[in-house]
Chain A
Amino acid sequence: MKTFFNLPIMRGLRWQIFGTAAGGLLVAAIRALMGLEAFGPLLFTEPSWVVGALTGAIAFMFGVGALDDWLKMAAGEAVAEEHHDPPGWQKYFSVSYDHKVIGIQYTAASIILIGTGGLLALIFRTELSRAGLDFLSLQWYNTLMSLHGMIMIVSILVGIAGVMNYLVPMLLGARDMAFPRLNAFGFWVVVPASMLLLGSMALGGVDTGWTGYPPLSVRSPIGIQMFFVGVWVAGWSSILGSLNLLVTVLRLRARGMTSFKMPIFVWAAIAASIISLTATQLISLAFQMVVFERALGMPFFNPDLGGNPILFQHLFWFYSHPVVYVFVLPGLGIISELLPVFVRKPLFGYRWIAMSSLGIALVGFVVWAHHMFTSGMNEYLRVPFMYSTLLVAVPTGVKFFSWVATMWQGRIKVETPMLFVLGGIFVFLLGGLTGPPNATVSTDLHLHDTYFIVGHFHDTMFGGYVFPFFAALYYWFPKATGKRLNERLGKWHFWLMTPSVVGFTLLMMRIGLLGMRRRIADYDPALGFDFTHLLITIFGYLVFISVLIFLYNVYITIKRGEPATGNVWGSRSPEWQVPSPMPPHNYSAEMVVVGEPYDYGRPDAPPYVIFEKQESAQ
């Protein structure tokens, strides 16, 4: 127990509490000197909480030790190039610079957050399972619904970061990411951010939905400030993580790895990183403006004083639309990466897939206003944004054609990762096909803010992220641990999750078309949606149970799984050419690319990479 409380993460959390108190008290003191109210009904006043949230997050970073080396550098002291992690499980709770440890930290954090977000959803889904308010207040319903959205978004960003961090240096043949300290910073900053998001529940909650639109968010309880600051802090992780990834790809590729010989997942990671590097700034700005409007009375979004609430939506969606491509592009990259392994055929149209990822990312920058067709923005913006949005279907279609052509006449090996790949393709297709009706102005005016959107969105997120994420977990679990997850439990997980997801999303779309409004806590029983809502709730529980099966699978595999240290899936990818799990700094010899990455089923093809032993790399 004592070891547990002495772990760096616990020290960080203690520091966060002290930092919040210190920042809050400082502002309270200043306010007292200015003759203002020093304390409020929720202990501190709102400005105190905002400053406290920030100082708490900074204090966490000091406490956990993520800034140690930079402080030494600033003081002019020498900093060791090599960083030694504590042995065993403790390294996952301390600051480590090893990209594989950070990747696992990210992934574990993502699973914790996804479980939290899922639990919140189950609570309010239970409330919705029949008409009438049964056990939640309106405020609590809104809080749970809003936090479900934002916590899931953070969890997906963190999960993407986990997969990219773990894989990309190995796929490139690099020893580590380009900036290992920055990498650690990017992970650790997520922890105080998650605390802030969850902490908003204790400060009156959030009643705006995950979008936080003003003027509603200007009138929300103080909890919304924790929500905004939490997202702002988490944004650092996105920006710095994607920066690190881009530099790593640009500078640390193995010899012979030209741009069209990179593993296809790397292309997807590049495309996603371009978005999160740049667009994240705009949601930070939008949220900061609301924070300032609330705390200092700066009327950015108050039309009475010359403000414009539509401006918030423009800034917000400039990030929040492209970010869905940050979620799905790495997921689709995982699908493209795994398909050839399990069908034993080359990936069809490699260059087209690589370019389609970039294409989706770039077109994604000019589609944001399709979320605002009903907002009252200038009408002449509608049609251009409709067409730019429909354009996204073209590069996405390229990917589907490529997958189908890859599978065509292949010898498909149906193992758990492949099941999740196929499930992902199917569910994402459902999400993709229901997209154009939302992009088209005439139909969107009817569909906007209905359950149709919710169903569409959950299909894209499950198909584009959740299924590929689980495929990646099943596929690379032996790489990380040297043990293979149980196939039977994996199949249970898949066959329980897939029909449930398809079921609840299609039902959502159905009642959405019939006029069920999203985000509301109660509905008229005369609509006749009670039974459908009950089914949706049951499907939601089944998805949650399937994830519990997965967690149980992880637990028993780590405890008594069969060792699997070789090339479990018969992959050509470099990380599988060496025994699992990999040591720090990955390969003991220099990796050189000599062949094509996806020449499966061609006995005479040269290997993708060879390792030159004579060059003594460290």
Chain B
Amino acid sequence: MKQGLKVFLILAVLTAVEFAVALLVPSAFLLGLMATAKAGLVIYYYMHIYKLVAEEEITDRESYAYKEGTNRVGLWLFLLSDFFLFAGLLISRFNLLGFTRPHLNQTLGFAVTVMLLVSSYFMNRAETRFKEGDLAGFQANAWITLGLGLAFMLGVVAVEWPLAAAEGLTASGSAAGAIFYLMTGMHAFHVLTGLIFLAIVLRNARHGVFAEGKGWPVEAAAVYWHFVDVVWIFFYPALYLIGTLI
């Protein structure tokens, strides 16, 4: 069995267990621990954080390989910066609501979470195929990722938002509503930028722009996509699972 699939199965089991834990023993500590474990798996196996420290001796600084390493450091620093934004949102959520949570549609929340997780798996598959030189396989998997990502975004913005508003959780009605829409909205915005980036990469790959091993944009799109997933790994329990209902 391929590594990507193994990691995905562990992630899937953890997500299911997370849901069960939230129903049986709603412990913020346990849920936080599981989210951290999931994020760790994605960051290591899907985002290949270890590539940052892989010491390959490249002396020619004008070479593509060296520049790729430089770009990688830049991308990760950008993600570090972005991480502070999402951490700030999480802290604001706990500052405003403490260990309570608004009433939301649990089935829908679980469904969109699964969609995003599965999309991460296909993104990983797409990247692997690309590295193997299988352009058709890359495209097929990237299309699936795009579709799932779009479904996630619409699921949140076009389905979840109106549903929540209909149940009385409006952006202007309470701080709970405000922080819910800000967190999901900010995340959806990042999903949207990831989709646009992925679409551009997919188009350019089809036109053969990334020939001769110059595939940094593919890796960048993948790493960014997984980062968006990692953010949701924390946002999902923070919004849907942790705390008692208001």
Decide: A285 and B175 in contact? CB cutoff 8 A: no
- Please report the C-alpha to C-alpha distance between residue A244 and residue B81 in the assembled complex, in whole angstroms: 12
Known pairs A179-B74, A243-B74, A243-B81; A315 contacts B92 (CB<8 A): yes
- Chain B minimum-CB-distance residue to A292: B182
Known pairs A252-B61, A298-B171, A302-B175; A285 contacts B89 (CB<8 A): yes
Decide: B175 and A300 in contact? CB cutoff 8 A: yes
Decide: A76 and B203 in contact? CB cutoff 8 A: yes
Decide: B73 and A250 in contact? CB cutoff 8 A: yes
What chain B residues lie within 8 Å of A306 (beta carbons)? 96-97, 174-176
Tell whether A211 is near chain B: CB-to-CB under 8 Å: no
Contact bitstring A158-198, B, C-beta under 8 A = 1, else 0? 00000000000000000000110010000000000000000
Tell whether A277 is near chain B: CB-to-CB under 8 Å: yes
- Chain A minimum-CB-distance residue to B200: A74
- Whole-angstrom distance between the Cβ of B214 and the nearest chain A Cβ: 11
Tell whether B106 is near chain A: CB-to-CB under 8 Å: no
- Please report the C-alpha to C-alpha distance between residue A252 and residue B67 in the assembled complex, in whole angstroms: 10
- Please report the C-alpha to C-alpha distance between residue A308 and residue B81 in the assembled complex, in whole angstroms: 25
Known pairs A282-B84, A306-B175, A307-B96; A251 contacts B73 (CB<8 A): yes
Q: How many residues of B contact A (CB 8 A)?
A: 36
What chain A residues lie within 8 Å of B96 (beta carbons)? 300, 306-308, 311
Q: Find the residue from A179, A246, A277, A298 having the highest chain B CB count within 10 A.
A: A298
Q: How large is the interface on A (under 10, 10 to 19, 20 to 34, 35 or more residues)?
A: 35 or more
- Please report the C-alpha to C-alpha distance between residue A179 and residue B220 in the assembled complex, in whole angstroms: 15
Among A76, A247, A280, A299, the residue within 8 A (CB) of B175 is: A299
Decide: A305 and B69 in contact? CB cutoff 8 A: no
- Please report the C-alpha to C-alpha distance between residue A306 and residue B170 in the assembled complex, in whole angstroms: 13
Q: Find the residue from A243, A293, A296, A306 having the highest chain B CB count within 10 A.
A: A306
Contact bitstring A307-335, B, C-beta under 8 A = 1, else 0? 11001001100100000000000000000
What chain A residues lie within 8 Å of B204 (beta carbons)? 74, 76
Tell whether B80 is near chain A: CB-to-CB under 8 Å: yes
Contact bitstring A246-288, B, C-beta under 8 A = 1, else 0? 1100111000000000000000000000000111111011000
Known pairs A251-B73, A298-B171, A298-B181; A308 contacts B85 (CB<8 A): no
- Whole-angstrom distance between the Cβ of B135 and the nearest chain A Cβ: 15
What chain A residues lie within 8 Å of B42 (beta carbons)? none
Tell whether B95 is near chain A: CB-to-CB under 8 Å: yes
What chain B residues lie within 8 Å of A311 (beta carbons)? 92, 95-96
Decide: A300 and B178 in contact? CB cutoff 8 A: yes
Q: Closest 6 interchain pairs by CB?
A: A297-B172, A298-B178, A306-B175, A281-B84, A281-B85, A307-B175
Interface residues of A, Cβ cutoff 8 Å to B: 74, 76, 178-179, 182, 239, 243-244, 246-247, 250-252, 277-282, 284-285, 289, 292-293, 296-300, 302, 305-308, 311, 314-315, 318
Q: List 14 A-B contacts (CB under 8 A).
A: A76-B203, A250-B73, A251-B70, A278-B84, A281-B81, A282-B88, A285-B85, A292-B182, A293-B178, A297-B172, A300-B92, A300-B96, A306-B174, A307-B96
